[in-house]
Amino acid sequence: MKKFWSGEETRRNGDELFRVKVVGSNPAGPTTSRTGPARAKIFGTLWELKKRGYCDITLKTKGERLRFLARHVDLDDPEAVKGFIAEQTSWSNGYKQSVAYAYDNYVKTNGLHWTLPHFRVEDKLPKIPTEEKINQIIVRARGKYVLVFSILRDTGMRPIELERTKVRDIDLDTGVITVRTAKGGLGRSLKVKTQTLAMLKEYLGKHGFGLNDQPFPKRKKMTGRWVRLRNTVAGKLKDASFRAIRLYDLRHFVGTTTYHRTKDIVYTQRVLGHRSLKNTMRYVQLIDFEEDEFTSAVARNLQEACQLIEVGFEYVTEIDGAKLFRKRK
């Protein structure tokens, strides 16, 4: 019999999708350090989804939700599970639906029957922080996290995409990162700003990573560090609005500013890696930029113009031989 996975191999893969030690070719009945029919059936469900091509991050999420349910309700009683999900007052309807979808996979894999509940999910547009507030948080970061948050601000990458980035995906000559996409998105190449590139060169040179190494932290660590920083800033500045700025909002910031800068929805779609233009259309309505939200600058020669462009200014027009630039506050 071929051994598909071992506990050591699962840990080495980093995701610990199944959290069981598997010996043999039948994952529906594994040998585990903590035996139990629920764990075995959850494993079988995830294994079936794995064979159907589900990505590791999706399997990990579904596994976490199924294990949570198993700690509170009998997974082989669909009506009890449905009632348990519905009674969770602290869960949003969107989260309830995602848990229901995970359990639906369990039901179908294990020959059970139920009617999948549908929870009404409100479509809430995310609030987009200003670049000034984002930078106020980043400037208080230390070590590699200044670089991590700067890359996310510059590129709009998902945190999981930055986590998966290998050294070979980074071109230190051009500052272009080839993105290993997540959530079924499109692959793309994104460029960091000059200042961020300088930090990136220093960081990679200092640690001597190999070409196949992943030099950036896990997304949970990125998120945890971001939350602590934003809460610290909120306390120091006595501005509670900072507490609402999520790490993922840096991606929304890039999507929104890219569209309003270019007015090109297809280009914005490519930057964000969306397969569906429907997802990108959300960014058309997120921010109404007003004229008084711009800082202006003047360049009188090529060198000055290049310097302004490198720090985010965009060309507007030319008056009396001087080129006018502007940058959103």
User: How do residues 9-34 score in pLDDT, each as one tens digit?
Assistant: 433 343 444 443 333 333 333 333 33
Long-range contacts of 118-123 (CB under 8 A, 24+ apart): 119/93, 119/94, 120/93, 121/92, 121/93, 121/94, 121/97, 122/93
Tell me which of 1.10.443.10, 3.40.50.11740, 3.90.320.10, 4.10.320.10 is the CATH number of domain 131-284: 1.10.443.10
Write down the pLDDT at residue 289: 52
Q: What is the DSSP string of 137-161?
A: HHTT--THHHHHHHHHHHH---HHH
At residue 117, the 3 state secondary structure works out as coil
Write down the pLDDT at residue 150: 97
Residue of 96, 121, 119, 117 lying closest to 107 (CA atoms): 117
pLDDT tens digits for range 141-169: 999 999 999 999 999 999 999 999 999 99
Q: Phi then psi for 212, rounded to 5 degrees?
A: -95, 5
* Average of per-residue pLDDT across 264-291: 76
Q: What is the DSSP string of 181-219?
A: --TT---EEEE--HHHHHHHHHHHHHHT--TT---S--H
Tokens of 163: 């986590």
Domains in the chain: boundaries: 7-109, 131-284, 291-328
Write down the pLDDT at residue 55: 83
Tell me the percentage of the chain whose pLDDT exceeds 70. Answer: 84
Write down the pLDDT at residue 288: 54
At residue 49, the 3 state secondary structure works out as helix
Tokens of 14: 């980093």
